[in-house]
Amino acid sequence: MRDAIKDQRIKKYTLIQLSSKHNGGPQGGILNTPFVSTFANVTEMNLNLWIQTLIDSDGCEVLQLQYEQVLFFEFMFGSNGQVTRWPHIQVNTLRKKPDSRLPLKF
């Protein structure tokens, strides 16, 4: 993600951070992944979203979204029943496509 923005001129950004983890008590799991939960529990999710306004080479403002999502799967590896936590990491940079619709003429 750093490589994607190294030559960009970022005018402003908003960072949104979400996590299913909290201090004390049972941790929040992920409930909307029935296929995954059949094979492994998803016990924790952390998400960072950067909503960015860029200035492109033409001087126009462009919206861009960068995100980093980390899910933790728990697999039952080994004959002793121990749980193995396995991170599943997703990152991406998305840029809003310019509106190319033609104006309606009546």
In degrees and rounded to multiples of 5, residue 38 shows phi and psi of -65, -35
Give helix then strand counts, H and E, for the chain.
2, 4
> pLDDT at position 51, please?
97
Residue 22 lies in a domain: no
pLDDT in tens, 42-89: 888 899 999 999 998 888 899 999 999 998 888 877 677 788 888 999
Residue 101 lies in a domain: no
Residue 32 lies in a domain: yes
Instruction: Report which of 41, 13, 39 is spatially closest to residue 26, judged by C-alpha positions.
Output: 41
pLDDT in tens, 19-36: 887 776 566 666 656 555
Q: Residue 83: which domain range?
A: 2-9+28-94
Residue 63 lies in a domain: yes
Asked if 61 and 38 touch (Cβ cutoff 8 Å), the reply is: no
Residue 47 lies in a domain: yes
